[in-house]
Amino acid sequence: MAIAIKTNDLSRTFSDDGEKKGGLFWALRDVNIEIPDGMIFGLLGPNGAGKTTLIKILSTLLLPSAGEALVAGYNVDNEYDKIRPVINMVSGGENCGYGILTVAENLWMFTQFYGIPTKPAMKRIKELLEIMNLTEKADTKINKLSTGMRQKMNFIRGFVTDPKILFLDEPTLGLDVNAARETRKFVMNWVKTAEEPKTVILTTHYMQEADEMCDRLAIIDHGKILAEDTPRSLKKQESGGISYNITVGYKDFDAEGLRKIPGVASFAHSVLDEQGMIEMVFILQTDAALAKIIEKINSDGFSINNIQKTEFTLEDAFIKLVGRRLSNGESDAR
């Protein structure tokens, strides 16, 4: 099987402008991945983990400090002119195009950057506008579009050049539930039914999206790959415990005390601002630890709103590996 992307001890450093002036900050360190053609490969990690740096290197926007990265068989160091014609990238929330041009005009303009003749380009644009339910907005200037519609246009821009390798960075950000569902379905079908192998590298903060879409996943933190496998295998490998979600009223609490309760394998929490609640996630070695947790919560004066035992999920595996949740309001749980 041909390899779409391969890295060997890939590293990237930046100068540290903090307290240790003149030092180096490792955004990526000795990253080794191999992604075959025809696969949706996911990158999961908290903010600042190194995902964006890795995507920028693979898409030829940033050079590595050390190591090697091959994309479609070409080296990002000195063969970027051969890589760029066969890749494309979509970033969620990105503002692209010119506001005075219409949706169709902007999309046509992007096809011209890739040298696609106008007739097949316009045919492809029409097809994708229909798929994304954006046909009625084809002649609307993009500065008149809503955020969701602009994201749909941005999504179409990624596919209109029919790339061999596509980087999707939070592609459903800003889309409503139905549009996000249709977007995921389209990406999976695009990879599955393509006459020539298509490869997608996906970053997302939605665990369900990663679980549903990805053939393989790499979990990254502090610039290093912590684990790589299929979503199913990651859940199976890391599932050495029982998962409980406990929702309590908001107040200060003893996180370290909860973490040190015998039988607690992992603990994380997030603040549910709108409800004025805290959601605690425990991974336990045995159910027996639950009684001690409840006793501790009650003794700290909390009001327990809900206790739910859950099946071990990809998020549970992530928490166990990284030590914190991948969500808004994520908190350090190590």
CA distance 152 to 136: 13
Give me the pLDDT at residue 285, please. 83
Residues 103-114: what's their mean pLDDT? 95
Give me the pLDDT at residue 328, please. 44
* pLDDT of 216 higher than 60: yes
Give me the pLDDT at residue 207, please. 87
Q: What is the CATH number of domain 39-60+81-235?
A: 3.40.50.300
CATH fit for domain 240-311, picks 3.40.1130.10, 3.40.50.800, 3.40.640.10, 3.30.70.100: 3.30.70.100
The string of pLDDT tens digits covering residues 24-68 is 889 999 999 999 999 999 999 888 889 999 999 999 999 999 999
Tokens representing residue 216 in the block? 């393989």
Give me the pLDDT at residue 239, please. 65
Tokens representing residue 245 in the block? 């979600």
Give me the pLDDT at residue 66, please. 96
CA distance 156 to 47: 26
Check if 39-60+81-235 and 240-311 are the same fold. no
CA distance 180 to 92: 11
Closest CA to 44 of 191, 247, 294, 213: 213
Closest CA to 149 of 161, 162, 140: 140
Torsion of CA 200, 207, 333, 302, to 10 degrees: 170
pLDDT interval class at 332 (50, 70, 90)? very low
> In sequence order, which residues have a C-beta less than 8 Å from that of residue 237 and are 6 or more positions away?
227, 229, 317
Domain ranges of the chain: 39-60+81-235, 240-311
The string of pLDDT tens digits covering residues 62-103 is 999 999 999 999 999 999 999 999 999 998 777 778 888 999
Cα 112 off chain centre by: 29
The string of pLDDT tens digits covering residues 115-138 is 999 999 999 999 999 999 999 999
Count CA within 13 A, CB hemisphere, residue 54: 34
pLDDT interval class at 329 (50, 70, 90)? very low
| Most confident by average pLDDT, 42-46, 173-177, 249-253 | 42-46
Count CA within 13 A, CB hemisphere, residue 21: 0
Q: Specify the 3-state DSSP secondary structure of 314.
A: helix
* pLDDT of 296 higher than 80: yes
In the chain, % helix, strand, coil (3-state, to 5) comes to 35, 30, 35
